[in-house]
Amino acid sequence: MNSHQLFRRSRIRLALWYAGVMGVILSLSGFGIYRALVQAKWTALEREIESIAGTLHDSLEPILPASEEPTAILQQIFPELCLVGQPCNMSPTLIQRHTTGISDRNTYYIRLFDDQGKLLAFSPNQASHLPQILNPATWQTWRSSDGIRYHQFTTILHSAHAHHMLSKTSSHPSWGYIQIGRTLEPFDAEARRIQWIFAVGFPLVLSLVAISSWWLSGLAMQPIYQSYRQQQQFTANAAHELRSPLASLLANVEAVLRMPQSDWQQIQTMLHTVERQGRRLSQLITDLLLLSSIEQNTSSEQFKPCCLNDLINDLSEEFLELAVASDIKLSSHVPTHLIYVLGHEQQLYRLVSNLIANAIQYTPPGGLISIDLEQRDRTVIVMVKDTGIGIPPSEQPRIFERFYRVNSDRSRKTGGTGLGLAIVQAIAKVHSGQLSVESQLEQGSVFTLKLTALAYG
């Protein structure tokens, strides 16, 4: 399986996980919202029924008779209700409608029972096949033979005489019961409408989630894929860099072994070549290990205050002899007041030394190199300027890559490993610094390092 197929499968799995998790979250959220909406409507419906029942209850109790035969009184109080055993008045007047106190005759119905649970009167629009015997439960929900659901509320009625008797006895006589019920057709229709909205909307939203998951998984895999490609490129470059000196070293060793012992001068020349290639391999391995250690931050040494004045002065003295040998004028400009930063002194030393060595390497004889140190507020600026060959604008974004050389042939002749600026960039990142370059062909380059100053002293 090649790397492209591997990353594609990983992306598919990641997208599926994204879509699956979001699908579960949306499902639970949708179910919770549905239940909350339905429960809110159900609670409002019961409150409405209780409100109507309470209004009727408070209006009826003061005028209820204590008579054993309440039929005549009920006809006067509820002229629109049907009395059991008598024909119904199906066309009540406006005054009769107001007496009952219910505006929606198609939704609500009323039933009255005596204290024995016997049905006395009922609304003409009540559902068919309702039981004639009272069920004293406060709330009841049931379904009629035509499939329509109903919800009803039952409460006790006391007559005015019964209220008077309650003050003389501990018993609680009641006149009877009133039931207020309503059809649940509008409620069920609204619930089904919400269900349809979720049923149609959920697949659409899930499709959008799947598309977003594929896009997000691509974004998530992109830096991993780039890192993998960089690692592959690094491995290939490292193998190439190691193969050349190793091949040269082995060829020289083999030639030395085949030469006669009398030709000592030529043997000595080849041994020097072996030594040079061995040193190059050693330097390359040392730089690789250092770069790996810096990037993984495996150093056990803690950050300490570092004086950049002393560091720049020491490096200027150290590289002065090399600059003179290359016919290059090296100068440094360091302020009198001490400038401190928090970091690894050896790493900062390596950072600046790599920049100076790089400037000397690419500056022709007669050129100038200056090292400037200054502080602006809390920012410390280290600049290494040269009048070298410069870097083409197209190459500048890549100069900090491992093993990348602008002038490969010249770097190999001068012994460069192609890791100098990569090490500089890694050290700058560890110290939360900013490294930038400005360069023009045949005019020179300026490398600028910005660090945070330490309030010291």
Domain 301-452 has CATH 3.40.50.970: no
Q: What percent of the chain has pLDDT over 90?
A: 26
Q: State yes or no: pLDDT of 261 exceeds 70.
A: no
In angstroms, the CA 280 to CA 278 distance is: 5
pTM for the predicted model, two decimal places = 0.53
Q: Which residue has the higher pLDDT, 318 or 278?
A: 318
The closest of 239, 291, 301 to 425, measured between CA atoms, is 291
The closest of 169, 171, 170, 162 to 60, measured between CA atoms, is 162
Averaged over 336-364, what is the pLDDT?
A: 91
How far from 242 is each of 235, 280, 283, 303, 418, CA to CA, in Å? Answer: 10, 9, 11, 33, 12
Averaged over 142-155, what is the pLDDT?
A: 87
Per-residue pLDDT band for 410 (boundaries 50, 70, 90) equals very low
Q: Which amino acid is at 280?
A: R
Q: Residue 75: its pLDDT value, please?
A: 67
Q: Residue 92: its pLDDT value, please?
A: 52
Q: Which of 90-99, 150-159, 182-191, 440-449 has the lowest mean pLDDT?
A: 90-99
Q: State yes or no: pLDDT of 162 exceeds 80.
A: no
In angstroms, the CA 16 to CA 134 distance is: 58
For residue 444, what are the β-bridge partners?
440
| Token pair listed for 332 | 């440094």
Give start-end residues of each CATH 3.30.565.10 domain in the chain.
301-452
Q: Tell me the pairing of strands 444-452 and 434-440.
A: antiparallel
The pLDDT mean for the chain works out to 80
- H or E element in which residue 192 lies: helix 185-258
Q: Tell me the pairing of strands 149-157 and 139-143.
A: antiparallel
Q: Which residue has the higher pLDDT, 288 or 27?
A: 27
The closest of 156, 129, 132 to 57, measured between CA atoms, is 156
DSSP state of 398: G
Answer positive or negative: Cα dihedral of 279, 285, 288, 290: negative
Measured from the Cβ of residue 150, the count of other Cβ atoms closer than 10 Å reads 18
Measured from the Cβ of residue 53, the count of other Cβ atoms closer than 10 Å reads 20
Most confidently predicted of 1-10, 31-40, 239-248:
31-40
Q: State yes or no: pLDDT of 457 exceeds 60.
A: no
Q: Residue 160: its pLDDT value, please?
A: 64
Residue where the block lists tokens 């990348």: 404
Answer positive or negative: Cα dihedral of 273, 278, 279, 285: positive
For residue 434, what are the β-bridge partners?
450
